[in-house]
């Protein structure tokens, strides 16, 4: 009986120690974080515009979306109406009435009967972002629209408003993506699951722009690692492979070959190389990584950067903003004692 009590005490101690030691892997409490959030189904209302009364319908739409309609038609779509909805241009009418655009709108409305799950995730991510780094500006209004496959995933209108192009999230197998120049390896990011990643990346990069001029590969890797660490904290409902733009198989390959990847970068003396033509491919999406086995994904430098930053945070336990202010990539690498 005495042994049992000691054994139970030991288990309890180990459990409490593990909980304390893995605190960095758990997300902070956000129950007390309040935000102002409102989303708008602009894509549905624009789809419902009466083509037989185009000008009148746009005037009604302008009353409903006084902040967003001009931005959508003039800045994103480039029609330059400047609020002149009484006599909209024939070009706009022709574009809106075109069968391909109408079909795209039909497809989006069918694929997204509502945006509740997206809104729930975004609100969660906004709260986490405020908890971890309050210097990152969080919008109050989210407008969902159909861009016409113009590549608008998540866009800033101003500090308070952002737009999300739902037509850019119709799935990796949506055939029209290839016709507008999106390479096959990149379509993995064109799913609804990826919407919070695009949004939070946009917010992060507005505060911490990715700089590559005169940077070494290591500096770019650590920069990407910081971004991925932030994304990990603000999108805990997603997996690493989604944030990295990998397939689950590619993620598994990277995890199993982490040492191989790092040694490849070290042995080829890439870490301190500044030749963009040679090193940029390792921190951007691609079908594979030059010099690595064909089953490797692109962007392997960002994967290693994520691992280094994670290790650094586990070792030194600074705050998120403290991490973001650290500029010396070599110092972070050494402090992390990274040895895959």
Place of tokens 């003396």: 269
Confidence of residue 6 (pLDDT cuts 50, 70, 90): very low
Question: 191-201, pLDDT tens digit by residue?
Answer: 999 999 999 99
- Give me the helices (H) in 68-132, please: 69-70, 90-97, 99-111, 116-132
| HSE-up (13 A, CA, CB side) for residue 202 | 23
Question: 30-53, pLDDT tens digit by residue?
Answer: 989 999 999 999 999 999 998 888
The angle formed by the CA atoms of residues 46, 50 and 56, to the nearest 5 degrees, is 90
Answer yes or no: is pLDDT of 16 > 90: no
Domain definitions of the chain by residue range: 38-195, 208-336
For the segment 153-164, the average pLDDT, to the nearest whole number, is 96
Confidence of residue 4 (pLDDT cuts 50, 70, 90): very low
Q: What distances in angstroms separate CA 11 from CA 4, 6, 23, 160, one per listed residue?
A: 10, 9, 18, 50
116-132 helix and 195-207 helix, angle to the nearest 10 degrees: 30
Cβ(340)–Cβ(258) under 8 Å? yes
Answer yes or no: is pLDDT of 296 > 70: yes
Lowest-pLDDT range of 3-12, 76-85, 275-284, 292-301: 3-12
* Closest CA relative to residue 49, chosen from 96, 83, 94: 96
Question: 79-123, pLDDT tens digit by residue?
Answer: 888 878 777 678 888 888 889 999 999 999 999 999 999 999 999
């Amino acid at each position: 009986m005495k042994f049992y009590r000691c054994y139970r005490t030991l288990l309890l101690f180990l459990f409490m120690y593990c909980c304390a030691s893995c605190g960095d892997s758990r997300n902070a409490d956000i129950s007390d974080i309040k935000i102002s959030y409102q989303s708008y189904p602009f894509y549905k209302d624009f789809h419902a515009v009466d083509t037989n009364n185009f000008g009148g319908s746009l005037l009604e739409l302008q009353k409903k979306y006084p902040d967003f309609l001009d931005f959508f038609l003039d800045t994103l779509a480039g029609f330059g109406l400047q609020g002149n909805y009484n006599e909209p241009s024939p070009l706009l009418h022709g574009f809106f009435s075109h069968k391909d655009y109408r079909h795209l709108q039909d497809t989006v409305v069918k694929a997204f009967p509502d945006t509740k799950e997206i809104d729930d995730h975004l609100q969660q991510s906004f709260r986490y972002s405020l908890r971890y780094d309050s210097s990152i500006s969080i919008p109050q209004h989210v407008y969902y629209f159909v861009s016409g496959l113009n590549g608008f995933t998540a866009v800033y209108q101003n500090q308070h408003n952002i737009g999300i192009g739902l037509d850019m999230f119709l799935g990796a197998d949506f055939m029209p993506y290839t016709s507008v120049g999106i390479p096959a390896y990149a379509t993995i990011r064109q799913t609804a699951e990826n919407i919070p990643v695009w949004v939070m990346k946009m917010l992060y990069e507005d505060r911490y722009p990715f700089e590559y001029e005169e940077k070494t590969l290591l500096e770019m890797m650590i920069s990407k690692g910081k971004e991925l660490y932030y994304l990990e904290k603000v999108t805990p409902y997603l997996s690493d492979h989604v944030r990295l733009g990998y397939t689950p198989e590619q993620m598994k390959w990277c995890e199993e070959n982490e040492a191989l990847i790092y040694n490849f970068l070290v042995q080829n003396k890439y870490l301190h190389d500044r030749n963009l033509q040679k090193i940029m491919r390792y921190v951007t999406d691609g079908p594979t990584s030059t010099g690595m086995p064909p089953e490797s994904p692109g962007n392997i430098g960002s994967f290693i950067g994520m691992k280094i930053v994670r290790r650094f945070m586990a070792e030194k336990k600074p705050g998120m903003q403290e991490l973001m202010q650290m500029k010396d990539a070599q110092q972070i690498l050494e402090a992390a004692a990274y040895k895959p």
